[in-house]
């Protein structure tokens, strides 16, 4: 779980995109309190005249409401409210394109299925934040994350290369597991070089406070700030039976001269595709047992407190006397109709949880990163 929360600014998106290939899209709901007559209560709807359906979506004709409006060329113009996406199986959710700070939107925040796997943006397991410009299959972010030194890395989960904005610095020559040596033999572990650079920017014993404040909050559960991550498939594969960690940014250069990401969700245990690495401990966002993490989109049943680890269904109160439709007293402290106490907190105090079926979505400039709504403002 993250232990620090960055104080960042605000950035929203206005722009044009091609239509999503993955499912049905309908215009979204105006959420800014504007005077659209079909959103402010004067239009028809399933909620008794408020203009919204049972899950809060605007039921007005597309021409009369804010949302994603097709233009004559077949493109989609995002305006207020985003787009409702219907996935295979009928699951619906509202997607709003957003920027990575002042950049983008990139592939993992553009409300499109860029890799044609039926999953979009934060719901795609290869998307590790709005600054990730590859929906998959590779886990390399597509926006840098290395310093000017070929063996060096900076904050993996922000935009671009260089440590200027985050003051995070690490060098793979400091890692005894040599995670980058297969693609660049000059990056193999060098004890003498490491000793000579201890305390310097290349191999600092601790990361700067600016790095911890900026990068650690946006780092997914299970990763360090430099893209050294663990996954359920790597349980017990590390030193002394600890979790194994791999460098998700590994790339090779093809015969055609193209840099290609090799580490995927399917190759995690392949040490050539996903080279083992040693996490930088003071900038590590560990994967807690009752947290959503990279490669772990759900929680173990024992995280749910209550009836044998199974979550009770919530029965809404429908009358002033506190009883539901079948007369169960919803005010009783141990009534079986009450929901369980839920799992231990998944996110830091003040950070909204996300990612599970009952969780509300994150509103931009917040983005759902391994179960927590994380701020990516300007």
Task: Establish if 317 belongs to a structural domain.
Answer: yes
- Residue 77: the pLDDT is 36
State which H helix or E strand residue 25 sits in.
strand 24-27
Residue 23: CB partners within 8 Å, gap ≥ 6? Answer: 85, 86, 87, 88, 113, 118
Task: Establish if 313 belongs to a structural domain.
Answer: yes
At residue 269, φ and ψ (nearest 5 deg) are -95, 5
Task: Establish if 186 belongs to a structural domain.
Answer: no
Do 227 and 154 meet the contact criterion of CB atoms below 8 Å apart?
no
pTM more than 0.85:
no
Q: Which of 96, 163, 99 is nearest to 131 (CA)?
A: 99
Q: Which of 25, 24, 21 is nearest to 115 (CA)?
A: 21
- Residue 45: the pLDDT is 30
At residue 367, φ and ψ (nearest 5 deg) are -135, 140
At residue 305, φ and ψ (nearest 5 deg) are -85, 140
Task: Establish if 329 belongs to a structural domain.
Answer: yes
- Residue 47: the pLDDT is 32
- The tens place of each residue's pLDDT in the chain, 378 residues long, gives 654 433 333 333 333 333 333 433 333 332 222 333 232 233 333 233 334 333 333 444 333 333 333 333 333 334 456 788 877 777 778 888 888 888 878 999 999 888 888 888 999 999 999 999 999 899 988 886 554 457 888 899 998 776 667 889 899 999 999 999 988 888 999 888 888 877 667 888 899 999 999 999 999 999 999 999 999 999 999 989 999 999 999 988 877 877 889 999 999 999 999 999 999 999 999 999 999 999 999 999 888 865 444 444 434 444 444 444 444 444 444 334 444 445 678 899 999 999 998 888 898 899 999 999 999 986
Number of domains in the chain: 1
- Residue 91: the pLDDT is 77
Sign of CA dihedral 245, 373, 29, 36: negative
Q: How wide is the angle at C-alpha 267 spanned by C-alphas 156 and 124, nearest 5°?
A: 60
Cis peptide, bond prior to residue 105, ω within 30 of zero: yes
Domain that holds residue 321: 305-341
Do 130 and 105 meet the contact criterion of CB atoms below 8 Å apart?
yes
Task: Establish if 83 belongs to a structural domain.
Answer: no
Task: Establish if 331 belongs to a structural domain.
Answer: yes
Do 368 and 119 meet the contact criterion of CB atoms below 8 Å apart?
no
Cis peptide, bond prior to residue 179, ω within 30 of zero: no
At residue 360, φ and ψ (nearest 5 deg) are -70, 155
């Amino acid at each position: 779980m993250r232990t620090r929360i960055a104080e960042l600014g605000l950035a929203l998106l206005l722009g044009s995109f091609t239509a999503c290939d993955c499912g049905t899209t309908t215009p979204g709901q105006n959420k800014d309190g504007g005077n659209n007559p079909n959103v402010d209560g004067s239009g028809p709807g399933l909620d008794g005249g408020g203009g919204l359906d049972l899950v809060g979506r605007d039921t007005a004709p597309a021409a009369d409401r804010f949302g994603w409006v097709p233009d004559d060329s077949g493109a989609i113009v995002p305006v207020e409210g985003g787009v409702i996406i219907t996935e295979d199986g009928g699951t619906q959710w509202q997607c709003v394109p957003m920027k990575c700070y002042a950049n983008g939107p990139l592939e993992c925040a553009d409300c499109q299925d860029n890799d044609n796997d039926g999953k979009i943006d934060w719901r795609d397991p290869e998307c590790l934040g709005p600054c990730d410009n590859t929906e998959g299959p590779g886990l390399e972010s597509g926006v840098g994350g290395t310093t000017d030194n070929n063996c060096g890395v900076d904050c993996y989960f922000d935009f671009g290369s260089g440590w200027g904005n985050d003051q995070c610095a690490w060098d793979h020559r400091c890692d005894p597991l040599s995670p980058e040596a297969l693609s660049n033999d000059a990056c193999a572990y060098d004890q003498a070089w490491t000793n000579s650079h201890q305390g310097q920017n290349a191999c600092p014993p601790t990361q700067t406070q600016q790095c911890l404040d900026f990068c650690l909050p946006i780092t997914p559960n299970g990763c360090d700030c430099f893209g050294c991550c663990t996954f359920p498939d790597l349980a017990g594969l590390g030193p002394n039976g600890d979790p194994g960690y791999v460098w998700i940014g590994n790339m090779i250069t093809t015969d055609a001269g193209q840099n290609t990401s090799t580490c995927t969700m399917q190759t995690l245990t392949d040490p050539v595709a996903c080279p083992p690495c040693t996490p930088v401990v003071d900038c590590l966002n560990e994967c807690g047992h009752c947290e959503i993490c990279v490669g772990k989109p759900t929680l173990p049943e024992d995280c749910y407190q209550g009836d044998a680890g199974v979550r009770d269904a919530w029965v809404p109160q429908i009358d002033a006397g506190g009883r539901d439709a079948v007369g169960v007293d919803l005010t009783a402290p141990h009534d079986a109709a009450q929901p369980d106490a839920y799992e231990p907190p998944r996110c830091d105090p003040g950070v909204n949880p996300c990612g599970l079926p009952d969780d509300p979505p994150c509103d931009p400039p917040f983005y759902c990163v391994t179960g927590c709504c994380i701020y990516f403002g300007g």
